[in-house]
């Protein structure tokens, strides 16, 4: 009989854990080595240590907090407005045929246009103001959430609607409880997709011209050939996006609480 120590499946599992833990440090180490070995130009491809110093400088300069909060505000406010509008209009178009006939064709024409393509016209309309940036994020989030809600509402179990009707459920409660909660599993999936879309559109919005923000800082650093700062900005953006996605995943598991 083989003990746990010599069990081949167990050995593979232990090895996998070890490799998983070492994966990122090994990659960073290799990067440091390659960048310092003069195989590549260290100005264009700085080692991680240089990136770390750049990030520390960024924090000490006092700009880090302002940049992160500016970006975070645009993402969260844009997401909140776009998602709320998407859910409300999705319920209306999903539930009322007349409203759907009025709005759905329009939404289906506008939805496939990548939100980033609206940057030029947004600059014409709003200049470099915050409104323009919010507009882009709201635009990107809205269509995803609207479509998910619209489909979710149409997939609500008709049996639940009939049961609710037979119990005398008033019209308003029918929409705000039976239809909304019946569609919630779909809405949550749409919202999670919209989280990453809100970051895409944030990048476009800040590249178009801003006075603060993580992507704005990346662009300034690029113009000054501060490659370490560019990479530090990318890391900060990646971390922020990762945390947003993870926390949303945790929230969405609790959102459909009856499962």
Partner 1 sequence: MVAMMHNPLRPAQPLRLVNAPPSASPATAHAIIRVEDLSIVFDAPRGQVVAVDRVSLDVMPGEFVSLVGPSGCGKSTLLNAMAGLERPFEGRVMVAGGPMLGPRPDVGMVFQQPHLFPWKSVRRNIAHGPRALGKSKAEALRMADDLIEMIGLTRFANAYPHTLSGGMQQRVAIARALANQPRVLLMDEPFGALDAQTRAVMQDNLLELRDRIHATIVFVTHDIDEAILLSDRVLIMSAGPGRILRDLSVGLPRPRSSAILTDPAYLALKRDCLDLIRTEGRKAFEQMEAVT
Q: Note the residues at the interface with partner 1 (CB under 8 A).
A: 157, 159-160, 162-170, 173, 178, 181, 184, 257-259
User: Cβ(196)–Cβ(144) under 8 Å?
Assistant: no
Tell the smallest beta-carbon distance from residue 166 to partner 1 (Å).
4
H-helix or E-strand spanning residue 171: helix 171-173
CA-to-CA distance for 152 and 181, rounded, in angstroms? 10
Say how many C-beta atoms besides its own lie within 10 A of residue 28's C-beta. 15
Q: 28 vs 255, which CB is nearer to partner 1?
A: 255
Say how many C-beta atoms besides its own lie within 10 A of residue 30's C-beta. 11
Tell the smallest beta-carbon distance from residue 173 to partner 1 (Å).
7
Q: 181 vs 220, which CB is nearer to partner 1?
A: 181
Q: 112 vs 168, which CB is nearer to partner 1?
A: 168
Tell the smallest beta-carbon distance from residue 186 to partner 1 (Å).
14
Q: 6 vs 259, which CB is nearer to partner 1?
A: 259
CA-to-CA distance for 85 and 48, rounded, in angstroms? 42
194-215 residues labelled b (16+ CB within 10 A) or e (exposed): bbebbbbbbbbbbebebeebbb
Tell the smallest beta-carbon distance from residue 208 to partner 1 (Å).
42
User: Cβ(140)–Cβ(85) under 8 Å?
Assistant: no
Question: Which of 71, 63, 42, 59 has its CA nearest to residue 228?
Answer: 42
Q: 6 vs 171, which CB is nearer to partner 1?
A: 171
Tell the smallest beta-carbon distance from residue 187 to partner 1 (Å).
13
């Amino acid at each position: 009989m083989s003990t746990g120590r010599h069990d081949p499946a167990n050995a593979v599992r232990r090895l996998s854990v070890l490799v998983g833990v070492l994966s990122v440090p090994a990659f960073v180490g290799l990067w440091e080595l390659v960048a310092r070995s003069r195989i590549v130009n260290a100005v264009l491809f700085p080692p991680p240590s240089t990136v770390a110093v750049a990030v520390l400088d960024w924090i000490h300069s006092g700009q880090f907090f302002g940049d992160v909060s500016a970006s975070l505000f645009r993402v969260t406010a844009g997401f909140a407005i776009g998602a709320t509008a998407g859910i409300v209009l999705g319920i209306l178009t999903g539930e009322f045929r007349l409203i759907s006939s009025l709005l759905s064709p329009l939404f289906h024409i506008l939805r496939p246009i990548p939100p980033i393509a609206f940057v030029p016209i947004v600059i014409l309309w709003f200049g470099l103001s915050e409104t323009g940036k919010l507009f882009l994020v709201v635009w990107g989030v809205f269509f995803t959430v609207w479509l998910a809600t619209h489909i979710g509402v149409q997939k609500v179990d008709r049996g639940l609607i009939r049961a609710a009707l037979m119990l005398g459920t008033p019209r308003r409660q029918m929409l705000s409880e039976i239809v909304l909660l019946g569609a919630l599993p779909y809405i949550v999936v749409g919202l999670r997709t919209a989280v990453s879309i809100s970051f895409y559109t944030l990048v476009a919005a800040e590249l178009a011209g801003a006075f603060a923000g993580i992507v704005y800082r990346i662009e300034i650093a690029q113009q000054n050939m501060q490659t370490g700062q560019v990479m530090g900005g990318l890391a900060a953006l990646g971390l922020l996006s990762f945390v947003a996605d993870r926390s949303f995943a945790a929230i969405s598991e609790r959102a459909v609480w009856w499962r």
